[in-house]
A and B are shown apart, each in its own frame.
Chain A
């Protein structure tokens, strides 16, 4: 038991600190530009509104008190009222959440499902043309900036080939290009790591032993190799899940996908800071929580962490 706690403890601490960090940075940045009230209210707001908001934010109190008020508001889910949509910022953001989750999950599943077999095949058929092509594509996929990849996909598969729509959300066809774009980096990373992890394992002694014992090749591959390579593969997969959120901002913008990344960008153009604040904060929380969950899973899988019998 102590082993698990000892493992989880620091991770939990890290998550909490990250949340605290985001809160603080948002608070600081909003104050950096001077008086935050003009950012949070429409310009034609009546004086009574302005006074109410000043009171709510505690702007007449000392800075530490303001900070605590701010943090307390956030914990209650109060991010202020969207200037553009004229409803609480948090309900606006919640409305766009589903689309981002749909895109992220699809991208992730697609990436994992495609990358692991390819990595595996590349390792088994090492130094064949398949290996070289696959790893070449993976290299490009990792180096290509997400937004340009999206534009290329639109140019080639939507405009020139007319296979998919150019953007928006609707039927399954609308999901393909954005998911591919968002998942490209993850797909490439997972494929490369899978390949090297499998290669490591293939070289190992117990594989030679299994082969010498006459176990069928495919059993060797699937049962022994994958099980032992699982750890690094799961690690990289977990890491990539987190980065998908960052890539979502750009992907959603390129494909006009109505998720919170695009909402955040649009709200910046609209000077709708309550929504920007809320979207950034909630994305950060989601990210941190997800990472923590992945750490948990990782911890359960890693034999070094499990409590000694």
Chain B
């Protein structure tokens, strides 16, 4: 198809206003979108910071660590839990889960996968020496037994019905015990070895990550020989690469560019309502952010509706609580977070706010629209008298600050609801010892702990209601929106996005449309 034709199509699609109203001409040329490709090329907004799955939970990293490694259980895009490296699991006693492990699985370096690896992986996540970023995910576990190579018995401190779901996500990736011990953490990060559908080919920083298909994968070889990830930090070139056919898929597609991708005859937009929230996480240790009244004011000063409407083209919802829509115990009766600049000004006066600087440290494009939202919110905060400053930082710097908890003020975070339950989001991240442990509140901590171990769903519901109430007085996060996370895909890519940001390329979710 010639360049001119494509441009005419683009123009006509734009004129029609929506991508759905395809003219007959468009439909005819769109139907024959197939390929014989053997290489899948994906462009995302930044390079990887860590390939070690226990040391990073950011979307740019987990897209790949979930493909290099397997978990015992696996959550598919349909939201259900499926067998992974474990084929069955049963609650064999009130505090005991027994997992039957898949046999015949080998790591990329040929070592066999056994229960010893599972045990070592899980214990590593909460080991104080390892200092992982997933230390609070599996802390319900008391001890693990490996009666034989194919069986894993996990004893929890208290009854934990969510354990299999926990193992499906961050921290549940299984790493090889022997290899890790022999190369150490840094060596493992440089040359990771897992059981996943792809293995590491090469990693040239800021250039590309090349992953080779694992021919012997237990779930079947994926529908490509090679998967290449190219970091393209700037949005315009990333989209241009998709439109020109240089890449097969792009991530972090902003809503106001989605129309271009949808209107183009060879590409489409696929999105999922994010199972999580985009929030401004607060370093509540830094004054004046240690004052709840200040944080309440900051929340009231944000016109979330305008952000969703103008920056996201309505592809998102205004949150009402720190629990994502779609999760257990989401309270539909709560109203969306309010916008009231006058009330905000009053609260600031009450709080004795003296004009101290409040920093918004933002990356550019790591979270879709992060910089634009930062500038908009800075303007909104300035309107109510806050001395707000935006500082742009590189993704690598953000990763560092995240590990050291050294942010200057507020920073963007996209907490994922890993269990479809508040325990997997606000408790996992904001709880004591968690990666965003900047704020403590005795009653909130007590409730969170109890809710984790209770099996009475009704009681849990009440506890989360009270936690939400405390949350909305103290705002350890300032939730901004729950967006649709969009991907741009070539039409010959058959792929369903996962609401939890995993880029699932295993056979059951990805294939090229072949003639």
- A, B from the same assembly: yes
Rounded to whole angstroms, the CA-CA distance of A85 and B404 in the bound complex is: 19
Q: Does the CB pair A43–B404 fall under 8 Å?
A: yes
B15 to chain A, nearest CB (A): 18
A166 interfacial contact with B, CB 8 Å? yes
B interface majority secondary structure = helix
Residues of A within 8 A of B234 (CB): 256
Residues of A within 8 A of B406 (CB): 43
List residues of B (435-463) whose CB comes within 8 Å of A's CBs: none
Q: Does the CB pair B205–A166 fall under 8 Å?
A: no
Rounded to whole angstroms, the CA-CA distance of A85 and B190 in the bound complex is: 11
Bitwise, B382-395 to A at CB < 8 A (1) or not (0) is 00000000000110
List residues of A (259-287) whose CB comes within 8 Å of B's CBs: 266, 269-271
Rounded to whole angstroms, the CA-CA distance of A162 and B244 in the bound complex is: 11
A44 interfacial contact with B, CB 8 Å? yes
Q: Does the CB pair B404–A166 fall under 8 Å?
A: no
A215 to chain B, nearest CB (A): 52
Rounded to whole angstroms, the CA-CA distance of A256 and B234 in the bound complex is: 10
| Contacting residue for A44 out of B7, B207, B236, B404, CB 8 A | B404
Q: Does the CB pair B394–A256 fall under 8 Å?
A: no
Rounded to whole angstroms, the CA-CA distance of A44 and B7 in the bound complex is: 51
Residues of B within 8 A of A86 (CB): 190
List residues of A (79-102) whose CB comes within 8 Å of B's CBs: 84-86
Q: Does the CB pair A270–B404 fall under 8 Å?
A: no
A42 interfacial contact with B, CB 8 Å? yes
A168 interfacial contact with B, CB 8 Å? yes
Smallest Cβ-Cβ distance to A84: which chain B residue: B396
Known contacts: A84-B205, A84-B396. The answer to whether A166 contacts B236 by CB under 8 A is yes
Q: Does the CB pair A270–B205 fall under 8 Å?
A: no
Interface size on A, residues (CB 8 A): 17
B206 interfacial contact with A, CB 8 Å? yes
Residues of A within 8 A of B240 (CB): 165-166
Q: Does the CB pair A162–B237 fall under 8 Å?
A: no
Rounded to whole angstroms, the CA-CA distance of A175 and B190 in the bound complex is: 33
A167 interfacial contact with B, CB 8 Å? yes
List residues of B (384-428) whose CB comes within 8 Å of A's CBs: 393-394, 396-397, 400, 403-404, 406
| Contacting residue for B403 out of A44, A256, A270, CB 8 A | A44
Residues of A within 8 A of B404 (CB): 43-44
A154 to chain B, nearest CB (A): 10
Given known contacts A168-B237, A256-B237, A269-B394, what 18 new A-B pairs fall within 8 Å (CB)?
Answer: A42-B400, A43-B400, A43-B406, A84-B205, A84-B396, A85-B205, A162-B3, A165-B240, A165-B244, A166-B237, A166-B240, A167-B237, A258-B207, A269-B393, A269-B397, A270-B394, A270-B397, A271-B397
| Chain B residues within 8 Å of A, Cβ to Cβ | 3, 7, 190, 205-207, 234, 236-237, 240, 244, 393-394, 396-397, 400, 403-404, 406
8 nearest A-B pairs in the assembled complex, by CB-CB distance? A269-B394, A270-B394, A270-B396, A85-B205, A166-B240, A166-B237, A167-B237, A84-B396
